[in-house]
Structure 1
Amino acid sequence: MSDVDEVHLAETAAMCRTAHRAKVETAVLDVADRAAFQDYAESVQSSFGCVNMVFNNAGVALGADVVDMSWEDFDWLMGINFGGVVNGTKAFLPYLIASGDGHLVNTSSVFGLVGIPSQSAYNAAKFGVRGFTEALRQEMKISRHPVTVTCVHPGGVKTNIVNNARGVSDMGADTATIATMFNSIARTTPEKAASTILKGMDKKKPRVLIGADARGFDFVARVVGPRYQDISAPITRAGYAFARKRGIIK
């Protein structure tokens, strides 16, 4: 188990040890660091002797329109949300193949299904994860490698991702206020999300949707196609107007 946040990593590891009496090893890792990810994969293989499952799940958030978004923020998000998935996949894939029974799970998002205003960078990364993962799944089948590949598309899950988001203050909003709003909308708990992912893995699903919101966005995208943008834009505009009226954003 790895994370860039050492404190929460230790807390999660302790929960796993208590609940499952499992052997848990941890490493502080920046997923955007390609060399460090390679070293980490080698250490996991060396320690456990076999790697059967890998979950690439690191993610950060950025709220900004394209015209206002800085290159620094864009590169930061892409390095983690897309680059981290690619780095983890490349580092662990040889070991998953060698295991004879591997499963790779890459986390995209509901924003890997539809584009959302102010989320262009996040959309780019999550659409990238989706395409990368779907192509890889086919490659594993063509090459007859014993690795199942699953792409996960969560909707709103109650995590701390908004607390560490960039761009919120640039919109004239308070991070704590936005986080409270997000958690009031996000109906899915991390435990429920994890359970849904594991059930999808058992069925070797190529795609796992988490939450009613994810299923709803997926349905709209499939039924109306690109025209969903004609629906989304006015709704978003109305949402911005409401938020400004309530003093949530400027």
Structure 2
Amino acid sequence: MRDLKGKVIAVTGAGSGIGRALALGLARRGATVAMTDRDAAGLAETGRMLGNYPHSQHVLDVTDHDALKAWVDGAAEEFGTLDGIINNAGLSVIAPFADTPREDFARVMAVNFDAVAEGCRLAIPHLRKHGSGWIVNISSVFGMMGYPSQSAYNASKYAVRGLSEALHIEMGQTDPGICVIRVHPGGIKTNVARNSKLIAHFPGSDPSADHAAEFEKNARTTPEDAAETIIRGMERAQHRVLIGPDARFIDWMVRLFPVTYMKRIGTFLGGGSK
């Protein structure tokens, strides 16, 4: 078991959802949390909830790589070290690929993948200074299976999965003390679906459907439960973390039916997933 007490962990997307729950859960285990989010009000609320637990807050957009570097390096300087980063910030758009504007697709990739890759790149030199730590990248069940109207999200989360798997192997050879974890959440009761940009409905779907409401109805896991699962994965140095019964079910179905899984689990998925 790896102890988080006294460790300094950077968390992106800490203004709500899983990121907020991670900040609170890590702080309760004795970690110092360096937080960032583009939502100033949400980040301030997380800070209020943390109270006297040691933490820092910085408002930034993770696609601004100069700002991201200043935040990562600044956290290490402020607290004397950096022991880990959790690349959690993410967003989604809803549309068939053919109807997704290039700029919307690029924005999803910039937030969900490019910023994750940059977060890893920036954290590694700090972790190497003491030969240990964590890199935690949030993928999705949509990083294990394709889903209609989520091509941009699928592409970004598969990319996070591939990056994390390769980095896990590399660190295992060069820096075995650095634990690289990829996380595949199922449906989590967060604002991801509510904040998703609806561009176009998938052909044949109900244009009056409330995708966010459907998602929330089918979401099976709270952010607090998701964060606890991730933190336990950090303590146990797990390489892969599945969150929720739906994620475990999808993982099993994709392995068992790699060609026909979509026909078998489409109804089960309902309105979508994190």
TM-score, normalised via structure 1 length: 0.87
Corresponding residue for residue 42 of structure 2: 8
Q: What corresponds to 1:214 in structure 2? A: 247
Find the counterpart in structure 2 of residue 157 from structure 1.
Answer: 188
Aligned to 1:186: 219
- Cα displacement (A) at 1:173: 5.1
Alignment of 1:1-250 (within 5 A): 1-17=35-51, 21-166=52-197, 168=198, 170-171=200-201, 177-231=210-264, 235=267
Structure with greater contact order relative to length (CA < 8 Å, sep ≥ 6): 2
In 1, Cα distance between the equivalents of 2:55 and 2:260? 47
Alignment partner of 1:116: what SS? Answer: coil
* Structure 2 residues not aligned, in runs of 5+: 1-34
Change (3 A) 1:53 1:173: farther
Output the CA distance in 1 between the equivalents of 2:121 and 2:58.
18
Report if aligned partners of 1:102, 1:146 keep a CA contact under 8 Å in 2: yes
Task: Tell me the amino acid that sits aligned with residue 94 of structure 2.
Answer: G
- Give structure 1 stretches of 5+ with no counterpart: 241-250
Q: Which letter maps to 1:170? A: A
SS in 1 for 2:255: helix
CA contact (8 A) 1:31 1:84 kept: yes
Partner Cα distance (1:119, 1:222) in 2: 21
Name the TM-score, length of structure 2 as normaliser. 0.80
Q: Distance in 1 between matches of 2:199 and 2:160?
A: 27
Take 1:174 and 1:82, find their aligned partners in 2: how far apart are those partners? 31
CA distance in structure 1 between the partners assigned to 2:41 and 2:207 by the alignment: 27
Give the number of the structure whose residues are more often helix, by fraction: 1
Q: Is the 8 A contact 1:105 1:151 kept in 2?
A: yes
Residues 4-44 of structure 1: per-residue CA shift (max 9 Å, x gap)? 11100111122122xxx311110011111111111111111
Q: Which residue is 1:245 aligned to?
A: none
Contact 2:84 2:123 (8 Å CA) reproduced: no
Deviates more, 1:85-94 or 1:147-156: 85-94
| Count of aligned pairs between the two proteins | 232
| C-alpha distance in structure 2 between counterparts of 1:92 and 1:173, whole Å | 43
SS at match of 2:124: helix
The corresponding residue for 1:244 is none
Distance 1:144 1:57 in 2: 23
**Structure number, greater radius of gyration:** 1
Shift of the alpha carbon at 1:185? 1.0
Report if aligned partners of 1:60, 1:81 keep a CA contact under 8 Å in 2: yes
Distance in structure 2 (CA, Å) of the matches to 1:120 and 1:170: 12
**Cα offsets for 1:48-78 (capped at 9, x unmatched):** 1111121000000111101111101101100
Q: What's the % identity of the aligned pairs?
A: 41
In 2, the alpha carbon distance for the partners of 1:51 and 1:228 equals: 41
CA distance in 2, matches of 1:170, 1:227: 25
How far the C-alpha of 1:232 sits from its partner, in A, is 5.3
- What is the root-mean-square deviation of aligned Cα atoms in Å? 1.9
